[in-house]
Amino acid sequence: LSAVQILITLDALHKMNVDSCVSYITSLQCKDGSFTGDRVSGEVDTRFTFCAVATLSLLNRINDTINLDSAVQFIHRSSNFDGGFGVRPDSESHSGQVYCALGTLALLGRLSEVDGDQLGWWLCERQLPSGGLNGRPQKLPDVCYSWWVLSSLSIINRVHWISKNKLVEYILACQDIETGGIADRPGDWPDPFHTLFGLAGLSLL
Amino acid sequence: MSGSGSGDGEEFVGWEEKPKPYIFYKDRPEWSDVQPVPQNDGPNPVVCIAYTPKFQDVYDYFRAIVHRNERSSRALKLTEDAAILNPANYTVWAYRRSIINDLKSDLDEELKLSTKMVFEHPKNYQIWFHRMAIIDWLKDPGDELSFIASVLELDSKNYHAWQHRQWLIRKFNLWEGELEFVSSLIDRDIRNNSAWNQRYFVISNFKDINSTDIVESEVEYSLNKIRLTPNNESPWNYLRGILQSQCLYKNTSLRAALDTMVNNNICSPFLEEFRVDIIEEQLEDGIGNKDELLDVAKDILDNLSNTLDTIRVNYWNYRLKKINRQYSNAADVE
């Protein structure tokens, strides 16, 4: 996914063999609709479903390649009693996985199959008094969830369910004054990962 | 208990002896038959990783053995060095498994290596996946449940550990005793959402989530925990999950328990939201006095927006608009 996104960003997609990339991705789908991350391991994760669907969408090859219905069914089986989504069936709901599930459903035009109110509520409950967002109930906030949670809310048109001002306050507090980069939490060392997601979160507000 | 795992340190052999110096693969006579394969970063690499010489050397030889399709015991040792230097390299782990498979290596020894690496890198996907593969081959859960418990001692919310545990339980039918394990973890940390998730996993798969007795006892369990920590999201979510196929307003003991909390001035947005959910159910089924119910709902939601949970004011406003839109007379809607 990252490779394709970079090529598209640099207007260089034509340099890639799209057909073989598509057949590689298609080969990663399992019988139950889930996706593995590679051909040699066999690890299954809703992240891989999202990566597969997003890549194929970017390449305009989402139809007539993978089995869309079974991919969606796997996403639904990964949903939990609290409305969230986990890595696989039974796994605890996690904001990152919610993003992957919603992203997949949105790209496949199947968002109506999700209870937006319930999921939106679970997502907006990620906001803590500090303004920061966490990934699971009772965990610490982390700037990267500004992206995973916010983009999920954005997909279901409920970004306004969190307090914008408080989140902005939190993200800016995570910016390191000396280097300018953004850290996971105020006072920690910044890194490119959290800088990217802090900025991405701000861009949605 | 964190090792860097990628240190270039020398092998420790005891306080008395000098540590054996590390020898690069390119300097080892027993590897002289192998031509190392450098990483091909292309003609104009950007953002190159600053590999250490040791790292480069190990991986040059790893690439070489993969190219030669060599699956020997020296290759096995090489993959161990490569995995220690970059535990996230799934190619290395997969190749290691193919060697183990070919050589029919000692899986118990492999499990020991896995244990060491889990404690050094408890959140590494590849290490946990490798462990699952080994146990799958062993076809025996052994002491795995207590191993996972010991990982959870260090981090009771380790997502990988919980997932591994779920896999193990399903695979080897180890449901017996899990509910007690979950309860003990909740006793230790009532806010451990992972433990609550596991509770749902056990109740919905091993017990009968549709049985009245089970539901009642789980509701009672949840309420007891809620009374201890009314602002704890986990038991409230769990309670909702247990009752998802049920009619909330018909559950008189639940309603009595919630009323008692209200009368005892328990301040909890989760309690208040639950009350609104019950009211919405009643409105939907046409139970009770519509106007009175709407008034109560409005009071609760106003309280949430203005005082109790102001950070989510827009969500509470949405709930209020929704309930009015659905059940108010047209004239009352804003």
Q: Give the gap in angstroms from C-alpha B18 to the nearest C-alpha of chain A.
A: 37
The string of DSSP codes covering B128-177 is: HHHHHHHHHHHT--TTHHHHHHHHHHH-TT-HHHHHHHHHHHHHHT--TT
Give the separation between CA B286 and CA B280, rounded to whole angstroms: 10
First to last CA, chain A: 25
Helix (H, G, I), strand (E, B) or coil at B61: helix
Report CB contact under 8 Å: B157, A124.
no
Give the separation between CA A45 and CA B302, rounded to whole angstroms: 41
Chain B, 187-226: which have a CB under 8 Å from a chain A CB?
191-194, 197, 200-201, 204
Chain A residues whose CB is inside 8 A of the B240 CB are: 81-82
Give the alpha-carbon dihedral of B39, B43, B47, B52, to 10 degrees: 30
Each residue's pLDDT, cut to its tens digit, for chain A (205 residues) gives 999 999 999 999 999 999 999 999 999 999 999 999 999 888 999 999 999 999 999 999 999 899 999 999 999 999 999 999 999 999 999 999 999 999 999 999 999 999 999 999 999 999 999 999 999 999 999 999 989 999 999 999 999 999 999 999 999 999 999 999 999 999 999 999 999 999 999 999 9
Contact B283, B323 (CB under 8 A): yes
Which of B237, B277, B306 should one mutate to test binding to chain A, selecting the residue with the greatest count of A CBs within 10 A? B237
Q: Give the gap in angstroms from C-alpha B276 to the nearest C-alpha of chain A.
A: 14
Q: Which of A65, A60, A73, A54 is nearest to A24 (CA)?
A: A65
Report CB contact under 8 Å: B311, A162.
yes
Question: Residue B11: beta bridge partners?
Answer: B20
Residues B149-171 pLDDT 10s: 999 999 999 999 999 999 999 99
Contact B319, A117 (CB under 8 A): no
B135 Cβ partners below 8 Å, 6+ apart?
A: B111, B141, B142, B144, B168
Q: Which residues of B213-234 are buried (b: 16+ CB within 10 A; e: fewer)?
A: eebeebbebbbebbeeebebbb
Which of B71, B193, B196 should one mutate to test binding to chain A, selecting the residue with the greatest count of A CBs within 10 A? B193
| DSSP code of residue B122 | T
B35 Cβ partners below 8 Å, 6+ apart?
A: B64
Q: Which of A56, A66, A113 is nearest to A85 (CA)?
A: A113
Q: Which amino acid is at A165?
A: N
Chain A residues whose CB is inside 8 A of the B95 CB are: 40
Helix (H, G, I), strand (E, B) or coil at B10: coil
* 3-state per-residue secondary structure call for B263-328: HCCCCCHHHHHHHHHHHHHHHHHCCCCHHHHHHHHHHHHHHHHHHHCHHHHHHHHHHHHHHHHHHC
Largest CA distance in chain B: 91
pLDDT given for residue B20 in this prediction: 80
Chain A residues whose CB is inside 8 A of the B197 CB are: 80, 91-93
Give the separation between CA B9 and CA B191, rounded to whole angstroms: 40
Contact A181, A175 (CB under 8 A): yes
pLDDT given for residue B318 in this prediction: 97
Beta carbons within 10 angstroms of residue A61's beta carbon = 18
Angle (nearest 5°) at CA B129 between B125 and B134: 150
3-state helix, strand, coil in chain A (%, to 5): 50, 5, 45
**C-alpha A71, offset from chain centre:** 16
The predicted complex's ipTM stands at: 0.95
Q: Which residues of B165-187 are buried (b: 16+ CB within 10 A; e: fewer)?
A: bbbbbeeeeeeeebbebbeebbe
pLDDT given for residue B4 in this prediction: 43
Give the residue numbers of B marked as catalytic: 123
Give the separation between CA A56 and CA B302, rounded to whole angstroms: 46
Beta carbons within 10 angstroms of residue B21's beta carbon = 7
Give the separation between CA B304 and CA B7, rounded to whole angstroms: 52
Q: Which of B301, B303, B284, B283 is nearest to B293 (CA)?
A: B283
Report CB contact under 8 Å: B233, A137.
yes
Q: How much is the pTM?
A: 0.93
Residues B58-106 pLDDT 10s: 999 999 999 999 999 999 999 999 999 999 999 999 999 999 999 999 9
Angle between helices B269-285 and B313-327 (to 10 degrees): 10
Report CB contact under 8 Å: B91, A161.
no
Question: Which H or E run contains B225?
Answer: helix B212-228
pLDDT given for residue B46 in this prediction: 87
Report CB contact under 8 Å: B162, A92.
yes
Report CB contact under 8 Å: A163, B312.
yes
B225 Cβ partners below 8 Å, 6+ apart?
A: B186, B190, B232, B235
First to last CA, chain B: 58
Chain B residues whose CB is inside 8 A of the A41 CB are: 90, 93-94, 126, 129
Which of B96, B315, B318 should one mutate to test binding to chain A, selecting the residue with the greatest count of A CBs within 10 A? B315
The string of DSSP codes covering A53-96 is: HHHHHHTT--TTSS-HHHHHHHHHHTB-TTS-B-SSTTSPP-HH
> Which stretches of chain B score pLDDT less than 70?
1-17, 330-334
